[in-house]
Amino acid sequence: DAGVIQSPRHEVTEMGQEVTLRCKPISGHDYLFWYRQTMMRGLELLIYFNNNVPIDDSGMPEDRFSAKMPNASFSTLKIQPSEPRDSAVYFCASSFGRLQETQYFGPGTRLLVL
């Protein structure tokens, strides 16, 4: 298996632009998680899905952030409009079942908002 796939790996954009991050989870996994990592705050959970349904989005910082999972093999995290404080590394992770120890992380998308 190729593991969790994220694209793009790097994104540089200007303030106010829309940013879309993409994730393909490991085939057969029924949980998908979006995280944000910064030096100051560490790794924070933004939202997670179970069987394509959003379960907990309490970590989404503002209405500017939205996430979708239209099918079991694809998810997007969108920021509109983007701001410099959104600059961070965004990780997608997936897992099978309710065993937290089986979360597998993707390589991340490094976002810089100028």
Q: Nearest 5 degrees, angle CA 51-CA 56-CA 57?
A: 115
CB atoms within 10 A of CB 52: 15
Q: Is residue 12 a contact partner of residue 21, using CB atoms and an 8 Å limit?
A: no
> Which of residues 1, 53, 70, 98 is near another protein by CB under 8 A?
98
Between 5 and 81, whose beta carbon lies closer to another protein? Answer: 5
Task: Look at residue 64 and give its three-state secondary structure.
Answer: coil
* 109-113 and 10-13 beta bridge pairing: parallel
> Which of residues 22, 45, 52, 81 is near another protein by CB under 8 A?
45
Q: How far is the CB of 42 from another protein (least distance, A)?
A: 4
Q: How far is the CB of 15 from another protein (least distance, A)?
A: 24
Q: Per CB under 8 A, does 54 bind another protein?
A: no
> Which residues in this chain contact another protein in the complex, by CB under 8 A?
4, 31, 41-45, 48, 50, 55-56, 91, 93, 95, 98, 100-108, 110
